[in-house]
């Protein structure tokens, strides 16, 4: 890094300032990016040893110029690195230093696990971050797309197949477990997906801001056939909708349930004052989800690459060695 920049361990009191940097970096890459929240990061931090798994880069004036953390899934053979550079500090080597710290930490975790880990990074394509990763031996393994639709005009109405009805989740434990079963069954053919126990799934989706009235469920023959799991986000200071998951059971596909759930989500958000709705999708979805979203009027705003590099366990003399 350039002179005047430093590294330190983040403190809980840093979270608001960290989020300002994270959100500024997100908006610089995609104007439609939803703002991350303190609650979301507090949840992430609850899974980390922030003394070893998270880093702040300070600028010459002591401001937060960059932030990064590493989350590991040694049992799955993966670790995920997230790093953000404030736009005002690009070109100072902040991103490179955060990547080096993540790689060194991943090497230590690989040694502890006794196996090679695949270190995963997600970055906007065709930018400095992609060039940095490629220069360090990362390969692109997938492309995801951010898609949005503005809610500033007439919307198509959902058309439900015979025998299909729509309701909102009740938010009860029984209902949520039924939604989980539907979602897990639907995503069984998603690239890179593995089964997620209820507790893991719930930890990802059921935290501050969860509103069961925004979870739309399509029922058929007495069971949940599909689900649109939605939430509100903030995009440039305006309320916006987010479809976190859209799932249809395999045996209930080809009935238009996915499209109808999506259109019902648009109507729900429009009725509650949202300016837009967004979601993330695999550009090579085996179910053609990205094509369904496009036909419903959503457009790609940015492409995000998944990059991976194998990180072997540390050796006594290697760059990942620990003292």
In order along its 323 residues, the chain shows pLDDT tens digits of 999 999 999 999 999 999 999 999 999 989 888 899 988 898 899 989 999 999 999 999 999 999 999 999 877 889 999 999 999 999 999 999 999 999 999 999 999 988 899 999 999 998 889 999 999 999 999 999 999 999 998 999 999 999 999 999 999 999 999 999 999 888 766 655 567 889 988 888 887 778 999 999 999 999 999 999 999 999 988 999 999 999 999 999 999 999 999 999 999 999 999 999 999 998 887 778 889 999 999 999 999 999 999 998 755 444 443 42
Per-residue pLDDT tens digits for 17-28: 999 999 999 999
What are the backbone dihedrals phi and psi of residue 158, each rounded to the nearest 5 degrees, phi first? -65, 145
pTM: 0.87
Per-residue pLDDT tens digits for 36-81: 998 889 889 998 999 999 999 999 999 999 999 999 987 788 999 9
Residue 259 parent element (H or E)? helix 257-271
The domains of the chain, with CATH numbers, are 6-144+306-311 (3.40.630.30), 153-274 (3.40.630.30)
Residue 22 C-alpha from the chain's centroid: 13
Task: Tell me whether residue 12 is exposed, middle or buried, using C-beta atoms within 10 angstroms of its C-beta: 0 to 12, 13 to 18, 19 or more.
Answer: exposed
Quote the CA–CA distance of 23 and 77 in Å, as a whole number.
Answer: 29
Q: Which two tokens stand for residue 289?
A: 């989800």
List the one residue out of 248, 314, 235 whose CA is nearest residue 275: 235
Which of helix, strand or coil describes residue 143?
A: strand
Q: Helices 38-45 & 15-29, crossing angle to 10 degrees?
A: 110
């Amino acid at each position: 890094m350039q002179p005047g920049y430093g590294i330190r361990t983040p403190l809980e009191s840093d979270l608001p300032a960290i989020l300002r940097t994270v959100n500024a970096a997100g908006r610089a890459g995609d104007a439609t990016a939803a703002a991350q929240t303190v609650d979301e990061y507090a949840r992430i931090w609850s899974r980390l040893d922030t003394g070893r798994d998270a880093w702040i880069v300070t600028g010459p004036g002591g401001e937060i110029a960059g932030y990064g953390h590493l989350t590991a899934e040694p049992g799955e053979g993966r670790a995920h690195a997230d790093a953000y550079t404030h736009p005002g500090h690009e070109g100072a080597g902040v991103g490179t230093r955060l990547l080096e710290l993540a790689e060194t930490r991943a090497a230590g975790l690989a040694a502890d696990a006794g196996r090679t880990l695949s270190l995963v990074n997600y970055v906007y394509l065709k930018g400095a971050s992609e060039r940095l990763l490629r220069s360090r031996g990362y390969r692109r393994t997938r492309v995801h797309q951010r898609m949005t639709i503005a809610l500033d005009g007439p919307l198509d109405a959902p058309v439900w197949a015979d025998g299909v009805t729509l309701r909102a989740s009740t938010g009860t434990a029984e209902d949520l477990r039924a939604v989980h079963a539907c979602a897990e069954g639907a995503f069984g053919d998603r690239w890179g997906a593995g089964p997620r126990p209820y507790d893991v799934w719930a930890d990802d989706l059921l935290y501050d801001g969860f509103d069961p009235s925004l979870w739309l469920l399509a029922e058929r023959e007495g069971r949940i056939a599909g689900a649109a799991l939605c939430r509100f986000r903030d995009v440039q200071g305006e309320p916006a909708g987010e479809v976190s998951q859209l799932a249809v059971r395999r045996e209930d596909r080809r009935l238009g349930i996915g499209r109808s759930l999506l259109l019902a989500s648009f109507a729900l958000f429009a009725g509650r004052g949202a300016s837009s709705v967004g979601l993330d999708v695999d550009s090579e979805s085996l179910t053609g989800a990205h094509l369904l979203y496009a036909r419903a009027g959503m457009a790609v705003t940015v492409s995000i690459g998944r990059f991976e590099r194998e990180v072997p366990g540390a050796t006594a003399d290697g760059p990942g060695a620990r003292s």
